[in-house]
Chain A
Amino acid sequence: MAEPARLTRQDVAHVAALARLHLSDEELDLYTGQLAQVLDHAADVASLDLAGVAPTAHAMAVINVLRLDEPRPCLDRDEVLGQAPSVEDHRFRVPRILGEAP
């Protein structure tokens, strides 16, 4: 398999935005170097010819785990909401989303 291109500063800025992390210019430089180093080490994996090998996502695969569809006790609503930073009318409260008027 062809090795992907080396990680760039722009790549790191992009994944940071996707992951909802803000990085300073200094952090961008630092993380670009460190992450590129880890990915370089992973080149031994990326360059292997493993065509035809099935991927393993779970070593001890358990499939179709279902329970009976019957009511049973669940977590206490007030106890759960009591851990939220902001709550209104028994719901989680967040700041405005997108460009809505406040």
Chain B
Amino acid sequence: MTTPRPAQEIAAMIRAGEDSAVDVLEHHLAVIEAGEESIHAFNLVMGESARHRARAIDAQVAAGEDPGPLAGIPVALKDNLCTRGVPTTCSSRILEGWRPPYDATVVTRLADAGAVIIGKTNMDEFAMGSSTETSAFGTTCNPHDLTRVPGGSSGGSAAAVAAGFAPLALGSDTGGSIRQPAALCGVVGMKPTYGTVSRYGLVAFASSLDQIGPFATSVADAALLFDVIGGHDPLDSTSLNRPTPRVLSVLDEGVDGMTVGVLTEFLDGADPDVVARVNQAAEALAAAGARIEEISVPEVALGLSAYYLIAPGEASSNLARYDGVRYGVRVDAEDTVAMNTATRTAGFGAEVKRRIMLGTYVLSAGYMDAYYNQALRVRTKIIEGFATAYARCDVLLGPTAPTTAFAIGAKVDDPLTMYLSDVCTIPTNLAGHPAISIPFGPGDDGLPIGVQLLGPALSEGTLFQVAAVVEAAAPALRVPRITTGAPS
């Protein structure tokens, strides 16, 4: 496989009539055909509808119209983003066969920008997991090593971009579900400020934490996609009605005079090769004119515990809607309560059941104040801790994940150990802030390491600006070589 062509370049050529959306699509469908059996990035490859759409884009160009900034770019969608008339499963049996009656706002915005939806990607069931192993439809393999997990929960989207199945993909990030798989698969992944990207049509997991964001092979391509999907949406009552930062236009502005804080809490517990890469990224930023300082935000150490009280609480409430009445699968029984119970027992996998029960428990009478409300107070402390740091620093730097990709099966029977792989990403979600993961060379095992930049609310412009400098200094990664057939 050759180095991927930037989405920006592909779109420019299609808009100029120098390349065709049909050819670009056929190239990517051929790459999928060759590698998907090994990787299993997709729940659904939408070859026919994509071909129809690509022909329409080429016809637009031929007629002298501009299809938009993503003209003819194949984009993969995490399978929790609603696509009208096209199955949307959240990788759960309970939604098998469901065809949403509407498109998510991000899907509409992609269409308006000229993108071609190429498929729906595999994920942890209802986005609950850090490895894509909780999918009801089988795990996704890491394109860099088929025996390793791609991360999660947006593992299919990360693997699809890493494998060259699509130049761009969308995922959702509730506790790191974009950034952690991006790091493990060696691609760029970004979680926007809460409220900058509409959640309309994103199947809810934990509503106060969920955000949709981009995957790409470069910082510039992630910026291109973020600019398309961001902005106020009246269909999402939590959408921020204020100008969304534009990021593509500020990528070249550099880091001269900025202060970057290396977040010491994130280095504690990270593998030595990961720490070394973070320090190397810090040196590169210093060489580019940034001031580097070590900074401690002790409150973030409480993030993991608070998250695993808040997110399950919200999930237990959100997932109450899967009752076998309005959509999805029903398992019949003699009365409605028995039908609800039979449906949910058969339809949900083990991790989803764990989180629903945990959430129900922490919200139940007698425990709500000790657990859920206490976690919301910790959330306040984390926000205050970050505010102190951002009074001194423009952005914070740390690892995205404490390790490189772990082996398939290694953590799946030990929920708490699995949860710990999100320790560096969760605080950002609790604070509602943006963060971006940038591939920064291989670890000792040759697998990708991601470094993470964190910023205060609505600092996307600054984040992308710094990310471009980090990317320019990143040691090269081996391009994944996908072999067909079963993993060895």
Chain A residues proximal to chain B, CB less than 8 Å: 1-4, 7, 11-12, 15-16, 18-22, 31, 34-35, 37-39, 41-46, 48, 50, 53-60, 62, 65, 67, 75-76, 79-80, 82-86, 92, 94-98
Contacts and interface: CB of A to CB of B under 8 A. Distances in A.
Given A86-B330, A98-B335, A79 B364 contact: no
A55 B380 CA distance: 6
Nearest to B415: A34
B358 A38 contact: yes
A45 B309 contact: yes
Please name the 8 residue pairs, one residue from A and one from B, whose CB atoms are nearest each other, closest first. Answer: A59-B432, A55-B376, A85-B330, A50-B377, A65-B237, A15-B360, A56-B379, A53-B377
Interface string B290-322: 000000000000101110110000001000100
A83 B357 contact: no
Contact of A18 (B360, B378, B379, B381): B360
B354 A35 contact: yes
B219 to A, nearest CB: 24
Nearest to A37: B416
B361 A35 contact: yes
Interface string B125-164: 0000000000000000000000000000000000000000
Interface residues of B, number: 76
A96 B335 contact: yes
B371 interface: yes
Nearest to B378: A45
Q: Chain A contact residues: over half helix, strand or loop, or mixed?
A: loop
Contact of A50 (B320, B360, B374): B374
B333 interface: yes
B173 interface: no
Given A19-B344, A41-B416, A67 B374 contact: no
A4 to B, nearest CB: 5
Contacts of B65: none
A84 B330 CA distance: 9
B238 A60 contact: yes
A35 B358 contact: yes
A38 to B, nearest CB: 6
Given A7-B361, A20-B337, A58-B208, A45 B374 contact: yes
A59 B373 contact: no
B240 interface: yes
B55 interface: no
B348 interface: yes
Interface string B358-371: 10110010110111
A1 B367 CA distance: 12
A92 B302 contact: no
Given A46-B370, A46-B374, A55-B373, A31 B360 contact: no
